[in-house]
Structure 1
Amino acid sequence: MRKLIFLFVLILTAGITVKATDVVFKATAPDAVVMGEQFRLTYTVNAECKDLRVQELSDFDVLMGPSQSTSYSSSWTNGQSKSETSISYTYILMPKKEGTFNIPPASIKVKGANYTSNGLVIKVLPPDKANNSSNGNEGSGNSSATAIGKDDYFVRMEVSNRNVFEQEGFLVTYKLYATRPCTLNNMKYPEFEGFLVQEIDLPNKQWTQEHYNGRNYFTVIFRQTVLFPQRSGNITIDGGKFDAVIRIATQQKVRSIFDDFFDSYQDVNKILTTAPVTINVKPLPSGKPASFSGAVGNFTMASSISSDNVKTNDAVTIKLKISGSGNIKLIKNPEVVFPNDFDVYDPKVETDFKISTAGVNGSKTIEYMAIPRYAGDFEIPAIAFSYFDVKSGSYKTLTSEPYKLHVEKGKEEEGNAPVMSNFSNKESVKYLGKDIRYLKTKGVTFTSTNDIFFGSAMYFMCYLVPAILFVVFFFIYRKQVKENSNIALVRTKKANKMAVRRLKIAGKLMKENKKEEFYDEVLRALWGYLSDKLNIPQANLSKDNVEAELTKYGVEETLINEFMDILNTCEFARYAPSQASDAMDKLYDLTVDAIGKMENTIKK
């Protein structure tokens, strides 16, 4: 019998197992309350507990508490039970004065161990100076939209800074003010023309109370963006338009004794608008360093090399990491100058950034890979990166250390060995089976000496023509070798082919409706084409020097403006709220046409 009882208890314990969880002791209260109104302060713990200790609340009157309540919940998962216990201690408080006050953490004991809750900050708002006329109207028999005052519901577009530098980010917040919580529909925001837009994710939009212009409102932030101006001057952010749906209580004639127990509501639509705001965008000061490519903010740079002792045909990688806050997504890759005998590949770029009310913070990691083809000692010069520091109002340059690289002669593999041309072909010899043939005695014909091929003009032409072709081919081959050694000329000739290849990728992205990737690929194609055609490294390319170089080559101003318009459209459209597919089709056709015109203008 004892064994059966023990087995039963063991099975019961295994089937109804309470999964141990971490103890959570949390304090909750409203972020803001109105002077003269009471509110709840609640402490919750998810385990059996005792000995709650709350520090003195000198800024509040304790009207009641603590009142204790306990709740239990259980669930079954895969034949096992999970039970949870929640114990709450509630205080009813009344603020003594206006201001911002701290509620210090409380402590409690769970299984002999002490746990501490979080502290709270509560803002006590002054009483509403209005006579609550709007609230009284909501309960009156008048259920029309006139029962809602013009100051009862509105939207504000708050701008953190109206005087900024070009490419300096600032915060734009859309906040709804309402005497009672409501909903917004058909929200029409401005296009933010002239700005690069970075959206802040707002997963939990919560209502809170705020005192504004002598009245207390329920407020909620429903959109926040970080804007980066792309040009200097006065740029106006247009106003927005929002449809608010407000539910107000109405009273009806009492037709029975049961009508008093039920309230009647009516939804009222109200159009809310925001006023336009003008931003004064100051141009960046003169004296830009040569390594400056438009970075604005506060950054740091770290660099490393995979190895300083390699063998020929082995890859060497330089990793560059730029971290900080600012327009990090628009930072161009700093230029790394490898020796001429190195095969250099396109860098690999990875970005990791977070968008918050403080701006855009993160890092950009660039990996440069090159392969040395010859042995020797080489030096990779220091890498320079410049940015404009908004706080100090000056340019700052960050430099890495130069890298000395020792390359030893390695074993040349077949795939990496230099390609050599072989013009001598060995013909295989076929065994005929007999060394001597019998003399023919029948069917013998004789040919005149004038008809013999040996010694004739055709015979000598067969020698002369291959010799001439060999000489021509030799000079053509030498010319190609000489041209291929001129990297700038090779890049210029292949500029159109590389641009067409990248545009094909952009065309696929357009068909897949991948907007941001499409515009990135078109930008990469344009900047790559201009870099190859003008023989300027991409890190040194800017709209100003591109216009100057194209003018030197005699390109018409209309074609230059067409290129600039395409670049601006791509930069803005990547972060625009929405773009139709026909806009991408039109931009794609304009890009192909512009590159074709440029090829006909600049011929090398």
Structure 2
Amino acid sequence: MRKLVFFLLLVIAVLPMQAKEDVTLTAEAPDVVVSGDQFRLTFTVNTQKGKDFLAPSISGFDVLMGPSRSQQSSTQIINGKVSSSSAITYTYILMAGKEGTYTIPAASIEVDGKKIFSNALTIKVLPPDQAAGNQQSRQGGNASSSRGQIAGSKISDKDLFITATAAKTTVYEQEAILLTYKVYTLVNLRQLYGKMPDLKGFHTQEIELPQQKTFSLEHYNGRNYNTTIWSQYVLFPQQTGKLEIPSITFEGIVAQQTISDDPFDAFFNGGGYIEVKKKIVTPKVVINVKPLPAKPDNFSGGVGEFTMSSSINAKEVKTNDAVTIKLTIKGAGNMKLLSSPEVKFPEDFEVYDPKVNNNFEVSRAGLSGTQTIEYLAIPRHAGDFTIPPVEFTYFDLKSRSYKTLKTEEYRLKVAKGKGNADQVIADFTNKENVKVLGQDVRFIKLGDTRLSPKGEVFFGTTGYWLGYIIPFIVFVALVIFFRKQAAENANVAKVKTKKANKVATKRMKLAGKLLADNKKNEFYDEVLKALWGYISDKLSIPVSQLSKDNIEAELTRYGVSDEITKTFINALNECEFARYAPGNESEAMDKVYATSVEAISKMENSIKH
């Protein structure tokens, strides 16, 4: 009786769950097969209420068997929760015919008076392997390994190799290139080891691929190989001319079958396996990098496709209120190497350094995503002001020309008032306001006191005349100093040159924090910004127009010794390539940091203006 009650309760609990489940008809088959191969084609409906199954018209394949009908059902009770599933599967055994690409249309079945359709399938049929006597793998598009080898067999370069392919071999400077390393194997490849080479002249970003590799069949040079894309990188060439991507030496671990001398052991156990190492060398790839056409003065350094939008927090404010303009640059290209556009605020606005927020992801077109830049300014006087349009100039790869994006013009009305931007500034700069404590109680004066005779007059004394002379001398000195300072500030290049070391030091401090936090990619990016920004300010040349070649020429012209120039160039090279070098990452980052600090210090003491 108890068993009957339990069974009824179980059926009552399961039926509502089955009713809620969406009914689907799913078709499954290998993506790739070889001519002459037999494979399964299945249609599965996730209910047992289906009837009137109608198979599609199958062309390009011989139907050896089917449809055979099978039913499956299961029930689970976990922590008091009941779940069940049931299905009907219709199976065909097909044989692939002539090579080509074929489509199997949707099948249909009726469930509760409603027709349900399956998905269509596309199957590629490869020609037979041309190598006589070799038995091809019959694992279809989901093959995970190739044919086995007898222990002691030689693994040739045609049995296992890796190709290195660049999507484009002729590009412009800073144009993204997709580099693909693809494995081709006819043997039972178990493991593969290899690292990205040291790429000189490129900024490199790796595309994240699944750790668990999936192999598929591909007909290549008359053979049917199991293939998989091992790794992919997006490269941004940093200099012009012919750049070489060097070979990589991979080490593959191949399983070979051992044959037992005991016939019974060989029959029942099939023998064992031994692992054999195989060196695989990828081919070199040469990229021809063309220079960009003559760069306009306002070139941002961007190469790709971009859009820009802007917004302002308010058009009517009071004096001392915060005015924030937000620029959003969206697109694909060398996003990390863009220079922030300049917003020209009115002269009497107090302007803060912009805040940049990057949201990038690596794609086959380069770095894609958005860069959001916030500009903060405080109006100190009332009046009507105009903030002109912001311009962003980049090189468009489709039209092969420079394009300039412009935002709208903003007209700002500033009224007199007691606006307060303290909170906005604190959020923007992450600094605390200075607090002044009241000093209404004075301490009792202690120590010796000098008394003056009554009637003594200060007029005409030495102290009296010094009270006139000293302020006059100080006034003249200040006038001379400020006039000299104004003249120097008028020379923007000279101001940048003087502040170059301060800006570089600030960036290196941030790099030091990233080093301590072991944030590898952010650390290398910040050190590169410090080095390129420092030399750009020192030489008064925009970063977008700098290269390692013209840096050497300019430093020689400024009288810097070859040794110091070489130290600085080596610092750039170490920073660009250390992130991909094998070994201890922490030691590499420490070395890059020390080398960069030393290079900037030596340059600061040597460069002459």
Could you tell me the TM-score, scaled by structure 1's length?
A: 0.81
Alignment match, 1:596: 601
| Greater Cα offset, 549-558 or 189-198 | 549-558
2: CA distance between counterparts of 1:97 and 1:268? 37
Match of 1:352 among 352, 359, 367: 359
Deviations 1:549-579 (A, max 9, x none): 9769945264556545544544454566777
Aligned amino acid, residue 344 of structure 1: V
Q: Report SS of the residue matched to 1:182.
A: strand
Q: 2:587 aligns with which of 561, 582, 597?
A: 582
Paired letter, 2:231: R
The Cα shift of 1:541 comes to: 7.1
Q: Look up the SS of the partner of 2:194 in the other structure.
A: strand
- What's the counterpart of residue 509 of structure 2? 504
1:517 aligns to what?
A: 522
1:241 CA displacement: 1.9
Letter of the aligned partner of 2:595 in structure 1? L
**Computing the radius of gyration over CA atoms, which structure comes out larger, 1 or 2?**
1
Task: Give me the whole-angstrom Cα distance separating, in 1, the residues matched to 2:273 and 2:10.
Answer: 59
- Which of these residues, 234, 237, 245, is aligned with residue 237 of structure 1? 245
Give yes or no for the alignment of 1:343 onto 2:350: yes
Task: Please give the secondary structure, in 2, of the residue aligned with 1:145.
Answer: coil
Deviation at 1:200, TM superposition (A): 1.6
Specify the SS of the correspondent of 2:295. Answer: coil
Deviation at 1:135, TM superposition (A): 7.5
1:320 aligns with 2:327: yes
Displacement after TM superposition at 1:294 (Å): 2.4
Could you say which residue in structure 2 is the equivalent of 1:40?
A: 40
Check if 1:227 corresponds to 2:231.
no
Give the whole-Å Cα distance in 2 for the aligned partners of 1:414 and 1:518: 33
Compute the displacement of 1:126 (Å).
0.5
Distance 1:329 1:109, change over 3 A: farther
Contact 2:302–2:333 at 8 Å: present in 1 too? yes
1:212 is aligned to 220
Kindly report which structure 2 residues correspond to 1:149-160, keeping only aligned pairs within 5 A, or say none.
149-160=156-167
Partner of 1:131: 132
CA contact (8 A) 1:321 1:366 kept: yes
Q: Who is 2:141 aligned against?
A: none
- Structure 1 Cα separation of the partners of residues 311 and 420 of structure 2: 28
Distance change in 2, residues 1:188/1:181 (3 Å): same
Structure 1 pair 528–472 and aligned structure 2 pair: CA distance change class (3 A):
farther
Q: Please give the per-residue CA displacement for 1:368-417, whole angstroms capped at 9, x wherever unaligned.
A: 2222222222222222222222333222222222222222222155969x
Corresponding residue number in structure 1 for 2:85: 84
Shift of 1:116: 3.3
Q: Which residue of 1 aligns with 2:259?
A: 251
Counterpart of 1:439 in structure 2 is none
Query: 1:469 offset after TM fit, Å?
Result: 4.8
Give ranges in structure 1 of 5+ residues lacking alignment.
Answer: 420-424, 431-446
Q: Is the 8 A contact 1:16 1:81 kept in 2?
A: no
- Aligned-partner Cα distance in 2 for 1:16–1:78: 19
**Range with bigger deviation, 542-551 or 176-185:** 542-551
Q: Where does residue 67 of structure 2 map in the other structure?
A: 66
Q: CA deviation at 1:477?
A: 6.5
Give the aligned residue type for 1:187: G
User: 1:208: Cα distance to partner?
Assistant: 0.7
- How far 1:306 moved relative to its partner? 2.4
Superposition pairs of residues 177-196 of structure 1, within 5 angstroms:
177-196=184-203
Percent of aligned positions that are identical = 45
Q: CA RMSD in A?
A: 4.2
1:180 is displaced (CA, Å) by 4.0
- Matching residue of 1:434: none
For residues 255-334 of structure 1, the aligned pairs below 5 Å read 256=264, 259-334=266-341
Question: Counterpart of 1:91 in 2: which secondary structure?
Answer: strand
What is the identity, as a one-letter code, of the residue corresponding to 1:206? Answer: T
In structure 2, the residue matched to 1:437 is none
Deviation at 1:301? 2.1
Rate the CA distance shift 1:314–1:525 in 2: closer, same or farther, 3 A. Answer: farther
* Aligned residues of 2:313 and 2:324 also touching (Cα < 8 A): yes
SS in 1 for 2:151: coil
- Alpha-carbon spacing, 1:476–1:540, altered in 2? closer, same or farther (3 Å): farther
2:151 corresponds, among 143, 146, 167, to: 143
Gap change, CA 1:527 and 1:67, over 3 Å in 2: same
TM-score, length basis structure 2: 0.80
Letter of the structure 1 residue corresponding to residue 89 of structure 2: S
* Cα distance in 2 between the residues matched to 1:75 and 1:582: 53
How many residue pairs get aligned? The number is 570
Give the direction of change, closer, same or farther, for the CA distance of 1:235–1:533 in structure 2 (3 Å limit).
closer
Correspondence 1:430-449 to 2 at 5 A: none
Distance between the aligned counterparts of 1:293 and 1:515, measured in 2?
26
SS in structure 2 of the partner of residue 196 of structure 1: strand
Task: Determine if the alignment matches structure 1 residue 167 to structure 2 residue 168.
Answer: no
Assess, with a 3 A threshold, how the Cα gap between structure 1 residues 473 and 105 changes in structure 2: closer, same or farther.
farther
Q: Mark the CA change 1:582 to 1:63 in structure 2 (over 3 Å): closer, same or farther.
A: same
1:18 aligned partner: 17
For residue 259 of structure 1, report the CA deviation from its aligned partner: 4.4
Q: Kindly provide the amino acid, as one letter, of the partner of residue 332 in structure 2.
A: S
